[in-house]
Amino acid sequence: MAKGSFTATIGYNKRIGKSFYKIGLEFSGASAEVFADVKPGQFVEIDLCHASLPADNKIPGELCDSAGRNIILRRPFSFSDIAVEKGKTTVEILYCTVGPASLRMSNLEAGDSVSVIGPLGNGFGMPEGKTTALLVLGGTGAGPIIHLAKQLKNYPQIQKIAFVGARSVEDLPFEKIADCIGAEGGDYLAEFSGTDTQTFVSTDDGSVGSKGFVTDILYRYLKQSGVERREIMVYACGPEPMLARVAQIAESENIDCQVSLERRMACGIGLCQSCAVECKAGDSGQSIYKMCCKDGPVFDASEVVF
């Protein structure tokens, strides 16, 4: 069914770390059907303008300044999970409080309602014909990758490995991290439980996992892996410099790679052209702009000009 504008009810909204939260948006009736088959990488535009800010003493110091800003635009968020029951679909979003809209989101309580436009964008392509899926994520890029890992359960024959990066242990959007990760990773992270996904973690400061960039552990893994390059699919979501490096590695190793990009979006539905992504126009050496909200947010890495 087509995208549209719907009302969602908050099922839960829980804090899972210093500044990370998981919120469950419940859809019932016709909207339950619309959201029942959302794909990992797709997103929604949420109107948070009418949600209130937390009380002064609950606003983190570093956000006091930006919290004072009035907001008028919706905000894009992708899904981290989905649960379908009869007549009710709950989509989960993993988000980080970074400014006035996400702060308002953190103040929503079960039973509150918000206006949601979606589902939007194209989502990740499934790894048809592959034997190995490598999932690379940084920071809030975790949401769509966790959702993807859950979806990949439908491909039991495919080997799944996640490479998780963050500045520091506090910037990892997961619960109970310390319990499950050894120095070189290789264990299973709670969020990926049941998805049969092996996890390697790196932090810039070495506070958990290996010290360095997530792209370093991806590169090291590929160098020692004997898997045929054409049997691998890389999926990546996170900060743009990380995605650029992943795309570079994929290109040099001749591996298929999909990246989920973020742009500032005014509308999310193709009205404004604010979300331009520079893409290669064939082999001409020229470039064109595609729209992140309509043509993406997932792009073939080889097509993007980083």
Partner 1 sequence: MNNNVDMSVDFGGLKLAGPVFTASGTCGYADELGDFMDLGCLGGFITKSITVEPRKGNPTPRIVETDSGMLNAIGLANIGLDNFIEEKLPILGGMSCAVFVNIAGKSAEEYIEVARRLCGFEQIAGFELNISCPNVKKGGIAFGTDPVQVAEITKKVKKAGGGKKLMVKLSPNVTDISATARAAVEAGADALSLINTFMAMVIDIESGKPVLANRTGGLSGPAIKPIAVYMVNKVYNEVTKGTGVPILGSGGIRTGSDAVEFMMAGASAVAVGTASFIEPASCEKIAAGIEDYCSKKGIDSLKKLTGSLC
Ligand X SMILES: Cc1cc2nc3c(=O)[nH]c(=O)nc-3n(C[C@H](O)[C@H](O)[C@H](O)COP(=O)(O)OP(=O)(O)OC[C@H]3O[C@@H](n4cnc5c(N)ncnc54)[C@H](O)[C@@H]3O)c2cc1C
Closer CB to ligand X, 94 or 250, in the complex: 94
Query: Measured from the CB atom, is 30 or 272 closer to ligand FES?
Result: 272
DSSP 3-state of 251: helix
Q: Which does 143 bind (CB under 5 to 8 A by kind): ligand FES, ligand X, partner 1, none?
A: ligand X
140 touches ligand X by CB under 6 A: yes
Q: Which of 38, 114, 250, 265 binds ligand X (CB under 6 A)?
A: 265
- SS3 of 169, please? helix
Subset of 100-129 contacting ligand X (CB under 6 A): 100-102
Q: Is 269 helix (H, G, I), strand (E, B) or coil?
A: coil
Establish if 239 lies at the interface with ligand X (CB under 6 A): no
- Min separation Cβ 183 and ligand X, Å: 28
The C-alpha R_g of the chain, in whole angstroms, comes to 19
The answer to whether 202 and 209 are in contact (CB under 8 A) is yes
25 near ligand X (CB under 6 A): no
Q: Whole-number minimum distance, CB 75 to ligand FES, in Å?
A: 11
CA dihedral 188→144→62→212, nearest 10 degrees, is: 50
Residue 73 contact partner, candidates partner 1, ligand X, ligand FES, none, CB within 5 to 8 A by sort of partner: partner 1
* Chosen residue from 33, 47, 170, 303 binding partner 1 by CB under 8 A: 47
- Is 138 one of the binding residues for ligand X (CB under 6 A)? no
DSSP assignment of 63-95? GHHHHTS---S-EEEE-SEEEEETTEEEEEEEE
Go through the chain and tell me how many residues it has: 306
- Closest approach of Cβ 305 to ligand X, in Å? 17
Return the closest-CA partner of residue 16 out of 113, 187, 143: 143
Q: Contact 221/200 with Cβ under 8 angstroms?
A: yes
Q: Give the binding site for ligand X (CB under 6 A).
A: 43, 66, 71, 75-78, 93-96, 98-102, 140, 143, 262-265, 297
